[in-house]
Each structure stands twice: as structure tokens, then as C-alpha cells.
């Protein structure tokens, strides 16, 4: 997330990490303190005893961080960068031509700048059209009655002086959460090290949104929004807001510097990517649901949330769970098998599926649980394909295998 002109210089000083790998790094005390205070435990920081160097491990987090010194830290995924953003596009349901454009970019900072530019253009377009407005319930101690009087609060506040009346009223306003979260992200991106013209554009938009109250909303706030014919285009804007807010791990109030941070949790992304892909590709008579609550114990004890439940006519047929782990052929992860068996037992389903990313060789294996009718299958998907079309085919194969496995196990 730096300008093109300074890329070569910054690239020479960049700290390059690899997902789940230790890397010896020389750090200033200020940069080390920042990582320890703001990004721990996402990025593990250990100081070596024998010298002043540090050992960094990004664990499952990939992305770009600008440190207080201005130095850039890059955590690269094990898969091609284009594939990472393809997964993000699927996981956050970002449509074409957005996904098609990603094929033209290969660097993390370039891709992030493209996504930020795409978001900025969409926000500016909506500003030119006019912000979405809605009725907001407000309360105030007014000199004239508006809406309805809140009698209990009015007596409490205005017992002596009766020249004011405490009222509740509805106001048609654009100062609503749907716009507040957009301003929050516009302000956040304005502090990132994007190219100069994009930063200026974001700051102009931030100024144009001055009547929208600045707030700090969590990414989950987007789950509460509802869309209609007047704000349907907000759906994509809010998906992008969620993408940026989940990646921006550092508070906007982290000090006198504007630090830019975008880190993706690959474990969560893998789960969301597989789930969203199956939502789209598994059709009737099957229905795919995610994070369906269930209980292992009587009286609703031991609550569980499997990643995916595949049902037919309201009856669960298969439980699937996504595991971002290394899996070798002819090997089983005992903990994963135990967890899947618990899911199958609680939901009275005989078929469980564990989905892993492919590492060394394709895996397609199953184990029947003794003294039960439960069968747990494990399979892999290759996320490291050289082009997006090949990755699309991998998704098609996984979805079709899932459907075939359900259908061939029907009594």
C-alpha cells in the first residue's frame, strides 16, 4: 500500500514473511514495540538471546503492515496472491467485473490499492446520486413538542422549569449506521499509504460526509443492515467495508502516525470461501446452511457450530467442516475426526466431511466409526492453481463430489 514511485526503495527494505514460517529480522525498538502491542498474537515476536535480532512468525495471517518507521512488513500466503484475492472475492461475494480485474495484479499492495480504488469510486458515485436516508428514532429535550412526549423522562428532567419538553420523534436522516460505517472506512483508508490522488479523493469524500457522525463500528455491524430498492447498491459497499474492517487490525487512534494494516486470517477465510462457494454451487434438492447451532448434551448443553450443514427437505444429510491444516495422504487428524463424530451424533447424520487445502498430494479417504453407522470422509482442494480458471474447476469438483457422496449414501 505504497505509491508506485517509492515501491523499489520500500521493497528493498521490506520485511518478507511466509505464512506459518519463522523469519529472523532486524527491528528497531519502536517497530518491535508496535508489533508486540498492536499485532500480538497475530504476528508472534520473539527476541533472540544471542543478538539483537527478532524472530517473527505471522502464523495464519497474510497481508501488509506499514510499521511506525515507514518500513513495510509483508506476510505472503503459500498460494499465489491472485488466488488469495479470488478467495476474498468469493468469500465476501464481490461480483464481476471485480473478480475479473484481480487477474491483472500480482503484488499484495497493488491488489489492496485496486480494491480501495474500486470502493472509493463506488462511494463517490453514490454521493453524486445522493446518500440513502431513513427514519431514525431520536430523543431530545425540546422547546417545542415534536413527535410524542416521554412523560417519565419529561417529569424527571423538567420538574421545575416547564419551558422544555422531553420528546421522542422520528427524523428522516442520512446520519444512520449504513452511512456511518462507510464514512468510518473512508476515513480509515485515507490514512493508508495509497497513491496520492486516491488519498486526496478519499479525504474529499470524508469531508463531504461531515454530517454523518464519526463512529467505530465492528465488521459484524453489516449483518444488521437491510436492503431495499433505494439502497440495494449499498450491499456491495458494505461487503467491502467488512473486508477492510476485518483486515484493519489497528485502531485508527493508534498514535500520531497513520499505520496501514491489512491482515487476513487464512483459517477464517478458507472456511468462508468454501461455505460461500457451496452456497452458490450446490443446488436443489439440497440446501446449504452455515454455523447451524446444535447441542451434544441433553438440556442443550455443549453447544456446537459446524461450518456447513447440507440438508434435503429440511432433513440434514451431511455435516462438513473446513480445516486449514496440512494433511498427508493416508493420515487422519484424530481431533478433527472426534469433532466431526460429535457433530454427526448430535445431528443424527451418518455422513461427515472434512475439507482441507491440498499440500503434497490429493487426499480422498474415509473412515467408518466402529459400532456406529457414521462415516467420515476427508478431501482436499488445491488452492495453489496457476490461474483462476483452474481454481474455479477445483471448486466445481469439490461441490460435485460433495453432492455425489450424499446421493450415493442414500438408503
In a domain, 387, yes or no: yes
Do 364 and 314 sit in the same domain of this protein? yes
Q: What's the pLDDT score for residue 2? A: 42
Do 199 and 161 sit in the same domain of this protein? no
Do 9 and 112 sit in the same domain of this protein? yes
CB of 113 closer than 8 Å to CB of 195: yes
Do 12 and 161 sit in the same domain of this protein? no
Do 325 and 297 sit in the same domain of this protein? yes
CB of 384 closer than 8 Å to CB of 79: yes
Do 209 and 303 sit in the same domain of this protein? no
Task: Quote the domain boundaries for residue 166.
Answer: 134-173
Do 374 and 395 sit in the same domain of this protein? yes
pLDDT in tens, the chain (411 residues): 444 444 444 445 789 999 999 999 999 989 999 999 888 888 999 988 877 789 999 999 998 888 888 888 999 998 888 888 888 888 988 876 566 666 666 677 788 888 899 999 999 999 998 888 887 777 888 888 887 888 888 888 887 767 888 888 777 788 889 999 999 999 988 888 788 999 999 999 999 998 898 888 888 899 999 999 899 999 999 999 999 998 886 444 443 334 578 899 999 999 999 999 999 899 888 999 998 898 898 988 899 999 999 998 888 999 999 999 877 666 677 888 999 999 999 999 999 999 999 876 777 788 888 999 899 998 999 999 888 888 889 999 999 989 888 877 654
In a domain, 271, yes or no: no
pTM: predicted TM-score of the whole model, two decimal places = 0.81
Write down which residue in 118, 152, 173 finishes a domain: 173
In a domain, 61, yes or no: yes
Q: What's the pLDDT score for residue 104? A: 64
Q: What's the pLDDT score for residue 409? A: 60
Do 97 and 214 sit in the same domain of this protein? yes
Q: What's the pLDDT score for residue 8? A: 47
How many structural domains are present in the chain? 3
In a domain, 277, yes or no: no
Do 199 and 228 sit in the same domain of this protein? yes
CB of 82 closer than 8 Å to CB of 388: yes
In a domain, 274, yes or no: no
Q: Can you give the C-alpha Rg of the chain in angstroms?
A: 25
Buried b (16+ CB within 10 A) or exposed e, 266-295: beebbbbbbbbbbeeebeeebbbebebebe
Q: Which three cell numbers stand for residue 158?
A: 423538567
Q: Which three cell numbers stand for residue 176?
A: 444512520
Do 116 and 144 sit in the same domain of this protein? no
Q: What's CA 379's distance to the chain center, in Å? A: 24
In a domain, 376, yes or no: yes
CB of 145 closer than 8 Å to CB of 165: yes
Q: What's the pLDDT score for residue 256? A: 36
In a domain, 388, yes or no: yes
Q: What's CA 65's distance to the chain center, in Å? A: 17
Q: Give CA–CA dist 359/409, Å, rounded.
A: 28
Exposed/middle/buried for residue 315 (C-beta within 10 Å: 0-12, 13-18, 19+): exposed
* Phi, psi angle pair for 105, to nearest 5°: -125, 140
Do 12 and 70 sit in the same domain of this protein? yes
In a domain, 206, yes or no: yes
Write down which residue in 266, 300, 316 finishes a domain: 266
Assign 3-class secondary structure to the chain: CCCHHHHHHHHHHCEEEECCCCEEECCCHHHHHHHHHHCCCCCEEEECCCCCCEEEECCCEEEEEECCCCCEEEEECCCCHHHHHHHHHHHCCCCCCHHHHHHHCCCHHHHHHHHHHHHHHHHHHHHHHCCCCEEEEEEEEECCCCCEECHHHHHHHCCCCCCCEEEEEEEEECCCHHHHHHHHHHHHHHCCCCCHHHHHHHHHHHHHCCCCCCCCCCHHHHHHCCCCCCCCCHHHHHHHHHHHHHHCCCCCCCCCCCCCEEEEEHHHHHHHHHHHHHHHHCCCCEEEEECCCEEEEHHHEEEECCCEEEEECCEEEEEEEECCCCCCCCCCCHHHHHHHHHHHHHHCCCEEEEEEECCCCCCEEEEECCCCCCEEEEEEECCCCCCHHHHHHHHHHHHHHHHHHHHHCCC
Q: What's the pLDDT score for residue 75? A: 92
Q: Which three cell numbers stand for residue 390?
A: 483452474
CB of 321 closer than 8 Å to CB of 355: yes
Amino acid at each position: 500500500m505504497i505509491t508506485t514511485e517509492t515501491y523499489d526503495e520500500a521493497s528493498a527494505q521490506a520485511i518478507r514473511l511466509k505464512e506459518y514460517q519463522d523469519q529472523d529480522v532486524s527491528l528497531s525498538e519502536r517497530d518491535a514495540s508496535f508489533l508486540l502491542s498492536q499485532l500480538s498474537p497475530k504476528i508472534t515476536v520473539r527476541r533472540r538471546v544471542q543478538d539483537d535480532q527478532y524472530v517473527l512468525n505471522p502464523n495464519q495471517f497474510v497481508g501488509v503492515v506499514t510499521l511506525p518507521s515507514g518500513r513495510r512488513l509483508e506476510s505472503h500466503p503459500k498460494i499465489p496472491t491472485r488466488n488469495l484475492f479470488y478467495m476474498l472475492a468469493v468469500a465476501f461475494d464481490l461480483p464481476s467485473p471485480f473478480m475479473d480485474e484481480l487477474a491483472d495484479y500480482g503484488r499484495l499492495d497493488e491488489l489492496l490499492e485496486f480494491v480501495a480504488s474500486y470502493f472509493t469510486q463506488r462511494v463517490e458515485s453514490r454521493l453524486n446520486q445522493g446518500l440513502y436516508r431513513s427514519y431514525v428514532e431520536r430523543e431530545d429535550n425540546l422547546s417545542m413538542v415534536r413527535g410524542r412526549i416521554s412523560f417519565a423522562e419529561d417529569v424527571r428532567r423538567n420538574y421545575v422549569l416547564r419551558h422544555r419538553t422531553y420528546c421522542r420523534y422520528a427524523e428522516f436522516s442520512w446520519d444512520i449506521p449504513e452511512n456511518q460505517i462507510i464514512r468510518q472506512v473512508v476515513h480509515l483508508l485515507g490514512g493508508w499509504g495509497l497513491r496520492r490522488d486516491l488519498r486526496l479523493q478519499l479525504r474529499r469524500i470524508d469531508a463531504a460526509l461531515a454530517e454523518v457522525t464519526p463512529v467505530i463500528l465492528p465488521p459484524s455491524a453489516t449483518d444488521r443492515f437491510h436492503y431495499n430498492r433505494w439502497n440495494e447498491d449499498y450491499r456491495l459497499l458494505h461487503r467491502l467495508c467488512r473486508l477492510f474492517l476485518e483486515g484493519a487490525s489497528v485502531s485508527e487512534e493508534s498514535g500520531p502516525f497513520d499505520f496501514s494494516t491489512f491482515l487476513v486470517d487464512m483459517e477464517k477465510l478458507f472456511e468462508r470461501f468454501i461455505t460461500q462457494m457451496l452456497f452458490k454451487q450446490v443446488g436443489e434438492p439440497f440446501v446449504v446452511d452455515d454455523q447451524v447451532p446444535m447441542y451434544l448434551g441433553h438440556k442443550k448443553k455443549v453447544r456446537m457450530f459446524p461450518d456447513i450443514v447440507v440438508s434435503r427437505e429440511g432433513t440434514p444429510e451431511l455435516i462438513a467442516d473446513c480445516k486449514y491444516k496440512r494433511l498427508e495422504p493416508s493420515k487422519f487428524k484424530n481431533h478433527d475426526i472426534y469433532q466431526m463424530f460429535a457433530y454427526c451424533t448430535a445431528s443424527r447424520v451418518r455422513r461427515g466431511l472434512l475439507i482441507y487445502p491440498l499440500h503434497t498430494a490429493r487426499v480422498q479417504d474415509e473412515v467408518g466409526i466402529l459400532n456406529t453407522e457414521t462415516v467420515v470422509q476427508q478431501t482436499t482442494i488445491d488452492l495453489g492453481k496457476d490461474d483462476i480458471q483452474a481454481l474455479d474447476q477445483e471448486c466445481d469438483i469439490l461441490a460435485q463430489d460433495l453432492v455425489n457422496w450424499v446421493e450415493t449414501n442414500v438408503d
